Amino acid sequence: MLSTNDGSSVLSAYQIDCIVGARPNLMKIAPILRAFTANDRVKARLIHTGQHYDDSMSGIFFEELGIRPPDINLDVGSGTNTEQTARIMLALEPVLASSRPDMLLVVGDVNSTLAASLVASKLLIPVVHVEAGLRSNDRTMPEEINRLVVDRVSDLLLTTDQAANEQLIREGVDGDQVHFVGNVMIDTLLANVKHCRPVLETIAKYSSGAFKDVCERKGYGIVTLHRPSNVDEPAQLKGLVEALVDISERLPLIFAMHPRTRARIEQGELDGQLSAAQILVTPPLGYIEMIGLMKGARLAITDSGGVQEETTALGVPCLTVRDNTERPVTVAEGTNTLVGSSPNTLRDAAFSALSNPGKRGRIPDLWDGQSAERVTDHVIAYLDHNRS
Ligand code: UD1
């Protein structure tokens, strides 16, 4: 409690440390930081773990989404899942131990989310997890282990859909800790979709005139693939590349390639097959280019979590190249279809999506652009309630 000059008391602002590390964290943190900044009950500090460090995987999103520079960068860089997690924990512990924020906020399911929530909970600093309760039930995904552990150690769990609330309750979490707030990633989408980069401008930037002409005539599909289960196993990656080559004979494809995927494609000498087909391979794209391409696409082919949600919000049919999804609401209500990991089923599903009207779906509840304000309200209410 602080006093003003006239002697009346005012509430001091809560100190919240916000963690980002990998690309998908940045679209989630942008609206939360904006809502925190607009609220004088909260003073936020931004800590970047450095899990993603390239300009194309991190820097450009700060610029495009108006995220202020991090207050602290831990610069941990690449490594195995364990190496990354351990390095983040070692670097973050002294930072949190000396400053002892009122709360630590983590988003999503990446290694940075896991590492930071473990450090804070061991220091008895309350943790809020935004995007809690998602489960693929597939523990071969590093993200699934991260989700389970982060939710176990979090004190306040904020969810993107009602099914996630029900999941957490089934796992024994106290219902008072869980609140459905909607989807902060869609806050960012709705705030930026009006000024996304025109499709033809982006295509012209990365390709020859001939590819642009064919996209103007036939439309195009957008592809992102980077999950270890799809790209780390050479036979699986080869099969998927062959399926994409076949699909591109009917629909030109733009493949925004993650660094992990590029390395595996080059190791497998598959780049020649892609470049001989009607497939434009680009580096990882910035947000306003990616959203522009997604909005104009006839079809998306992906294994990303974020793209499943963004295509649902944009009404673009999406084929997810996985056997499961932690985001079932995009299948039940949105435009997403799980096609499994077999290249043959991907090929069949794409041909079928191109010859039938694609899945249209509806926008899930509370994916309305206001989720970050609800996050802020719940964080303040939690801290007020637990004030000692
Ligand atoms: C991570 C997340 C995943 C998320 C994805 C989005 C985990 C377990 N996984 O996976 O949930 O969907 O980010 O991109 O946290 N690399 C670069 N530059 C960078 C970052 C990475 O070249 O800025 C390369 C490195 O060689 C690295 C590889 O990409 O080995 C993979 O990066 P990593 O952070 O290990 O995992 P992602 O596959 O990106």
The per-residue DSSP string of 50-63 comes to: -SS-SIIIIIHHHH
Q: Is the CB of 259 under 6 A from ligand 1?
A: yes
Q: Is the CB of 264 under 6 A from ligand 1?
A: no
Residue 73 is predicted with a pLDDT of 98
Cross-strand pairs, 233:
none
Q: Which amino acid residue places its CA nearest to atom 16 of ligand 1?
A: 259
Distance 23 CA to ligand 1 centre (A): 8
Q: Is the CB of 219 under 6 A from ligand 1?
A: no
Place of tokens 């033809």: 200
Task: Read off the pLDDT band of 12 (50, 70, 90).
Answer: confident
Residue 360 is predicted with a pLDDT of 86
Which of 179, 226, 258, 378 is catalytic? The answer is 226
Place of tokens 């779906």: 361
Query: At residue 2, does pLDDT exceed 60?
Result: no
Distance 52 CA to ligand 1 centre (A): 6
Amino acid at 341: S
Q: Is the CB of 24 under 6 A from ligand 1?
A: yes
Residues 315-342, mean pLDDT to the nearest whole number: 98
Place of tokens 């983590």: 106
Closest atom of ligand 1 to 305 CA is: 12
Amino acid at 199: V
Cross-strand pairs, 281:
255
What is the DSSP secondary-structure string of 61-105? HHHHHTPPPPSEE-------HHHHHHHHHHHHHHHHHHH--SEEE
Burial of 18 (0-12, 13-18, 19+ CB in 10 A): buried
Residues 3-17, mean pLDDT to the nearest whole number: 75
Q: Is the CB of 284 under 6 A from ligand 1?
A: no
Q: How far apart are CA 357 and CA 124, in angstroms?
A: 53
3-state class (DSSP) for residue 185: helix
- Provide, rounded to the nearest whole percent, the portion of the chain with pLDDT above 90: 95
Closest atom of ligand 1 to 57 CA is: 23
Closest atom of ligand 1 to 226 CA is: 38
Cβ neighbours, 10 Å, residue 210: 9
The yes-or-no answer on residue 226 being catalytic is yes
Distance 77 CA to ligand 1 centre (A): 10
For a substitution probing ligand 1, which of 260, 307, 325, 327 has the most ligand atoms within 8 Å of its CB? 260
Distance 24 CA to ligand 1 centre (A): 10
Amino acid at 109: D
Q: How far apart are CA 168 and CA 150, in angstroms?
A: 12
Residue 386 is predicted with a pLDDT of 96
* Beta strands at 221-224 and 178-180: parallel, antiparallel or unpaired: unpaired
3-state class (DSSP) for residue 332: helix
Closest atom of ligand 1 to 22 CA is: 13
Closest atom of ligand 1 to 227 CA is: 38
Tens digits of per-residue pLDDT, 68-97?
999 999 999 999 999 999 999 999 999 999
| pTM of the predicted structure, to 2 decimals | 0.96
Query: At residue 3, does pLDDT exceed 60?
Result: no
Cβ neighbours, 10 Å, residue 162: 14
Tens digits of per-residue pLDDT, 113-149?
999 999 999 999 999 999 999 999 999 999 999 999 9
Helix-helix angle 305-314:287-296, to 10 degrees: 50
3-state class (DSSP) for residue 372: helix
- Provide, rounded to the nearest whole percent, the portion of the chain with pLDDT above 70: 97
State CA 288 to chain mean position distance. 15
For the four alpha carbons of 111, 293, 60 and 30, in that order, the dihedral sign comes to negative
Closest atom of ligand 1 to 284 CA is: 14
Distance 260 CA to ligand 1 centre (A): 7
Distance 141 CA to ligand 1 centre (A): 13
Q: How distant, in Å, are the alpha carbons of 105, 117, 179 from that of 46?
A: 10, 15, 23
Tens digits of per-residue pLDDT, 31-68?
999 999 999 999 999 999 999 999 999 999 999 999 99
Cβ neighbours, 10 Å, residue 29: 28
In this structure, which long-range contacts are made by residues 317-325, counting pairs with CB atoms below 8 Å and at least 24 apart in sequence?
317/353, 317/358, 317/359, 317/360, 319/346, 319/349, 319/350, 319/353, 321/225, 321/230, 321/240, 321/346, 322/136, 322/227, 322/229, 322/230, 323/138, 324/136, 324/137, 324/138, 325/136
Task: Read off the pLDDT band of 4 (50, 70, 90).
Answer: low
Tens digits of per-residue pLDDT, 105-118?
999 999 999 999 99
Residue 11 is predicted with a pLDDT of 75
Distance 58 CA to ligand 1 centre (A): 11
Judge whether 321 and 299 are in contact, CB under 8 Å.
no
Task: Read off the pLDDT band of 341 (50, 70, 90).
Answer: very high
- pLDDT-wise least confident of 14-28, 171-185, 330-344, 349-363: 349-363
Tens digits of per-residue pLDDT, 222-269?
999 999 999 999 999 999 999 999 999 999 999 999 999 999 999 999
Judge whether 164 and 186 are in contact, CB under 8 Å.
no
Residue 6 is predicted with a pLDDT of 64
Task: Read off the pLDDT band of 209 (50, 70, 90).
Answer: confident
Q: Which amino acid residue places its CA nearest to atom 7 of ligand 1?
A: 110
Q: Mean pLDDT in the chain?
A: 96
